[in-house]
Amino acid sequence: MAQFSPKSILCPLDLSSASPTVLHWASLFATVYSAKLQVLHAEWMEYPRYFLPSQAGELVAEAERVRSAIRDDLQRLLNETIPAEISREIAVLEGHPIERILEYAERHKPDLIVMGSHGRSGFARMRLGSVAENVVQQTSSPTLVVRAPGGKPTPPKISRILCPVIFDEHSARSISFSAALAAATGAHLIVMHVEEGDLPRDAPPKQLCELVSADVREHCEVAEVVRQGSAAAQILQVAQEYDVDIIALTAKHRRFLDFTVIGTTTEKVMRHADSAVLVLPVREHLL
pLDDT value of residue 64: 85
pLDDT digits over 41-81, tens only? 998 766 566 555 656 666 677 778 889 999 999 999 999 99
Q: What is the DSSP string of the chain?
A: ------SEEEEE---STTHHHHHHHHHHHHHHHTPEEEEEEEE-----SS--GGGHHHHHHHHHHHHHHHHHHHHHHHHHHS-TTS-EEEEEEES-HHHHHHHHHHHH--SEEEEEE----HHHHHHH--HHHHHHHH-SS-EEEEE---SS------SEEEEEE-SSTTHHHHHHHHHHHHHHHTPEEEEEEEESSPPPTTPSPHHHHHHS-HHHHHHS-EEEEEEES-HHHHHHHHHHHTT-SEEEEEEEEEEETTEEE--HHHHHHHHH-SSEEEEEEEEEE--
Domain end marker among 147, 181, 216: 147
Co-location of 88 and 215 in the same domain: no
Q: Is the pLDDT of residue 99 over 50?
A: yes
pLDDT digits over 237-257, tens only? 999 999 999 999 988 765 544
Domain contains 152? no
pLDDT value of residue 153: 74
Domain end marker among 147, 181, 207: 147
Co-location of 199 and 143 in the same domain: no
CATH number, residue 203:
3.40.50.620
Domain range for 52 = 8-147
Co-location of 143 and 169 in the same domain: no
Co-location of 121 and 217 in the same domain: no
- Domain tally, the chain: 2
